[in-house]
Amino acid sequence: MAYLETRRHELRKRRILMVDGNLTLNAQTSDAGASARVYRDGYWGFAATNGTSAADIDQVTGQAGRNAAAMARFGARAPRPLPGGTYRGEHVFTGRAPLSQKECVDRLSQLHAWCKQRYPDLRSTRFLLADEHHTKRLATSGGSDVLSSIQRALCHVTFTADAADGSPVELTEHLSDKGSLADLDVEPQQLAPLLDDLYRHLRAKAQAVAARGGLQTVVLAPPLAGMLAHEAMGHPCEADLVLGGAVTAGLVGQRIASDLITMVDVAHTFRGQETMIPVYADDEGTPASDAVLIERGILRQFMSSRETAARLGIAPTGSARAYAPVDEPLVRMRNTAILPGTDKLADIIAGVEDGYLLMKTGNGQADSTTEFMFGINLAYEIHNGRLGAAIRDTTVSGSAIKVLQTADAVSDDMYWSCAGYCGKKQPMVVSMGGPALRVRAHLGGR
């Protein structure tokens, strides 16, 4: 047997939803299991079960070996040496004592009552609390032995109001942090400035005007820049997609962005602080390292697993991750961001004679060509360096490579969020972030 890895994996999740003071969802789930992967004669075999005992490990190990042998019937294939070192260590986040379900529900009730009193003209309020806890024990025949945990908590606050014509308009604020819901402070007094801003933007959106369509100067607020980095530029820098024909395959060493742009997929530590999704060793037991994807505008590196690194002739970055106990590791992002620059956001806006500030996105899509389209649900006009009216929901689109080549200002802000999932055959918890960017992109409109 050339190579073996086994993983015991526990995944606990809970979601609590309150709509207009009514509890509509109160769920807790727990999933556990064991899996094994075997690499033999150039083929992988994988097997998983919902048990975690030693007998279960033996069972899936044998089945994974048989699956690899079955794949070998497709024909002889020279096995590639799998690069990457080994890692031995334990990394478990210890936060505050967990909250009970009742304590979480009580916090939502307090939020609802506070918002109802403070913003009496809202049509509706919606609050979602959720947390998620992954614990993995990985062992490999190469000598890796890793215990890791990833924990994240989130709160989504949605306000709905009436527009001038009576139609509903809504906005959502996403809060997130490492740890459980005990580590995410959702007390009304703590959130008051953020909730006041959400309400103020919603009232402005109720009077929104249509945007002008076409190529525009836009300032992407940090959440939008984070989405651009992850969806449009990050995925085409995943080695399996590179091998599948992503446009980035032949661009290493070439300029693909303004020299103001440096973009990194951070493994576990950023500027001396542990990231929201810390990966010290991936689900292949490879020591995780930062992947510098773009350095001052030049494409430098891809995120990779052991096998994709071998096929591309590069060093593995420890980016192979599996979401659920029954999932096989895939090349996935961890904490992806464009690094901050030196400009102040206020100065970036002041330098726009005619354009838009794009602040929030509700959804988006991108492909391996770096072409993207994101929905924009909060944005403002900019006239002569000053913010004007809010604009109606629209879209921003383009090629990430072409858009990043136009970047002429990067703010010194740094924003991180782990409030969503990344989808790629299986979901994945990730964080993304960045500063604000001033670029040229296509805006939907009249």
All domains in the chain, ordered by first residue: 3-205 (3.30.2290.10), 214-443 (no CATH)
The widest CA-to-CA distance across the chain, in whole angstroms, is 71
Q: Which residues of the chain have pLDDT under 50?
A: none
Residue closest to 421 by CA, chosen among 137, 27, 150:
150
Of the candidates 191, 5, 21, which has an alpha carbon nearest to the alpha carbon of residue 106? 21
Helix (H) or strand (E) holding 113: helix 101-118
CA geometry: angle 319, 324, 327, nearest 5 deg: 70
Task: Determine the pLDDT at residue 445.
Answer: 84
Looking only at the bridges linking them, the beta strands covering 214-220 and 354-366 are parallel
Residue 294 CA to its chain's centroid (Å):
18
Provide φ and ψ at 308, rounded to 5°.
-65, -35
**318: enclosing H helix or E strand:** none
pLDDT at 212: 95
In terms of DSSP bridges, do strands 437-443 and 421-424 run parallel, antiparallel, or are they unpaired? unpaired
Q: What is the pLDDT of residue 363?
A: 80
Q: How far apart are CA 384 and CA 14, in angstroms?
A: 47
* 410 within 8 A of 435, measured Cβ to Cβ: yes
DSSP 50-100: S--SHHHHHHHHHHHHHHHHHHGGG---PPPP------EEEE----SPPPP
Asked if 11 and 30 touch (Cβ cutoff 8 Å), the reply is yes
323-364: pLDDT as tens digits: 999 999 999 999 999 999 999 999 999 999 999 999 999 888
**Which DSSP category does 441 fall into?**
E
Residue 438 CB partners (closer than 8 Å, separation 6+): 217, 218, 219, 220, 348, 351, 352, 407, 408, 409, 410
DSSP 340-357: P-SB-HHHHHHT-SEEEE
Name residue 80's beta-bridge partners.
none
pLDDT at residue 92 in the model: 94
Coil vs helix vs strand at 368:
coil
Please say whether the beta carbons of 219 and 382 come within 8 A: yes
Interhelix angle 101-118/188-205, rounded to 10 degrees, is 50
What was the pLDDT predicted at 408? 98
pLDDT value of residue 1: 54
C-alpha to C-alpha distances, 367 to 235, 381, 420, nearest whole angstrom: 8, 29, 19
> In one letter, which amino acid is 132?
E
Which residue, among 59, 57, 8, 55, has the nearest Cα to 33 in the 3D structure?
8
